[in-house]
């Protein structure tokens, strides 16, 4: 039987590919037969990952998703080199914590720039390319996965910038899906709970761990490898009738909310 999650022939941009969830998604894309187009600020990390994946399986672009010029140039180059881009995982993200009443404006803006505007810049640049392909009668796969968070569904304490950006990502998914799903492009959100990466070191520390864990019905956190699988599911033809949805991957964290 053909594996419906096979990604052979798919060229997939993964932002924030240097570590954590983005690295795991990139590795799984390649394991499933696809080519990973790695985007990150951390050149040393994405270059090392590309070396590990092999030149036939990966490209590297070093820069910030918060720079629209870099994003458009990166997409143009990825299309010129590979002929087409079939998938985008909008994964790059940052955290800059402060209580709402104390949050400096630049701390607010930094997170909005990367976690919301950065997602839009990548979605727009890749979406334009996918629309052009559709117009030319090319019906090859086109799937965008936007990474959000439970913080976007239920708010968060001490990260109003992050919560607002992640709610905004869900809005981007719904609007883009309404505009583009009739043109062969699927757009979905994944909302993670707590995944063991550098980003969650503080909430997994002794001070917060038990309180957070008590809200997870499955009684454990996840790791990047486990959560990379539903991302690749949404990229693949196994999800061919799914668009405009928000899938929580969180051990049941949002049940009852």
Residues engaged in binding ligand NAD (CB under 6 A): 15-16, 18-22, 39-42, 64-66, 91-94, 114, 118, 147, 149, 192, 194-195, 197-200
Is residue 61 annotated as a catalytic residue, yes or no? no
Are the C-beta atoms of 87 and 140 separated by less than 8 Å? no
Candidate list 61, 162, 241, 253, residue with the active-site label: 162
We find the least distance from the C-beta atom of residue 81 to ligand NAD, in angstroms, to be 19
Look up residue 250 and give its two tokens. 């969180």
State which residue, 133 or 228, has the beta carbon closest to ligand NAD.
228
State which residue, 38 or 133, has the beta carbon closest to ligand NAD.
38
We find the least distance from the C-beta atom of residue 111 to ligand NAD, in angstroms, to be 9
State which residue, 13 or 114, has the beta carbon closest to ligand NAD.
114
Q: What are the C-alpha distances in Å from 137 to residues 81, 100, 199?
A: 21, 49, 42
Are the C-beta atoms of 45 and 20 separated by less than 8 Å? no
Are the C-beta atoms of 221 and 150 separated by less than 8 Å? no
Q: How far apart are CA 93 and CA 98, in angstroms?
A: 16
We find the least distance from the C-beta atom of residue 139 to ligand NAD, in angstroms, to be 30
- Of 113, 188, 182, 186, which is closest to residue 147 (Cα–Cα)? 188
Are the C-beta atoms of 229 and 28 separated by less than 8 Å? yes
Q: How far apart are CA 104 and CA 233, in angstroms?
A: 39
Q: Greatest CA separation found in the chain?
A: 57
State which residue, 159 or 236, has the beta carbon closest to ligand NAD.
159
Q: How far apart are CA 139 and CA 124, in angstroms?
A: 19
Q: How far apart are CA 155 and CA 174, in angstroms?
A: 19
We find the least distance from the C-beta atom of residue 154 to ligand NAD, in angstroms, to be 12
State which residue, 20 or 133, has the beta carbon closest to ligand NAD.
20
We find the least distance from the C-beta atom of residue 246 to ligand NAD, in angstroms, to be 12
- Of 202, 196, 177, which is closest to residue 251 (Cα–Cα)? 196
Catalytic residue numbers, as ranges: 162
């Amino acid at each position: 039987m053909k594996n419906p999650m096979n990604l052979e022939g798919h060229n997939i941009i993964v932002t924030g590919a240097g570590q954590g969830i983005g690295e795991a998604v990139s590795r799984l894309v390649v394991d499933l037969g696809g080519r990973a187009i790695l985007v990150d600020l951390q050149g040393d990390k994405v270059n090392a990952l590309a070396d590990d994946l092999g030149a036939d399986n990966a490209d590297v672009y070093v820069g910030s998703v918060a720079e629209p010029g870099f994003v458009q140039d990166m997409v143009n180059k990825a299309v010129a080199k590979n002929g087409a881009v079939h998938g985008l995982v909008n994964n790059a993200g940052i955290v800059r914590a402060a209580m709402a009443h104390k949050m400096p404006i630049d701390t607010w803006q930094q997170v909005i720039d990367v976690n919301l505007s950065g997602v839009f810049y990548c979605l727009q640049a890749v979406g334009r390319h996918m629309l052009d392909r559709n117009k030319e009668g090319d019906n090859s796969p086109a799937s965008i996965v936007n990474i959000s968070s439970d913080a976007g569904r239920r708010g968060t304490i001490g990260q109003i910038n992050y919560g607002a950006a992640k709610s905004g990502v869900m809005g981007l998914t719904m609007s883009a899906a309404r505009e583009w799903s009739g043109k062969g492009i699927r757009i979905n959100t994944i909302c993670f709970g707590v995944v063991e990466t550098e980003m969650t070191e503080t909430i997994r520390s002794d001070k917060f761990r038990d309180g957070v864990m008590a809200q997870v019905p499955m009684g454990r956190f996840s790791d990047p490898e486990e959560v990379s699988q539903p991302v690749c599911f949404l990229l693949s033809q196994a999800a061919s009738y799914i668009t405009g949805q928000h899938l929580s991957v969180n051990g049941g964290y949002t049940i009852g909310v």
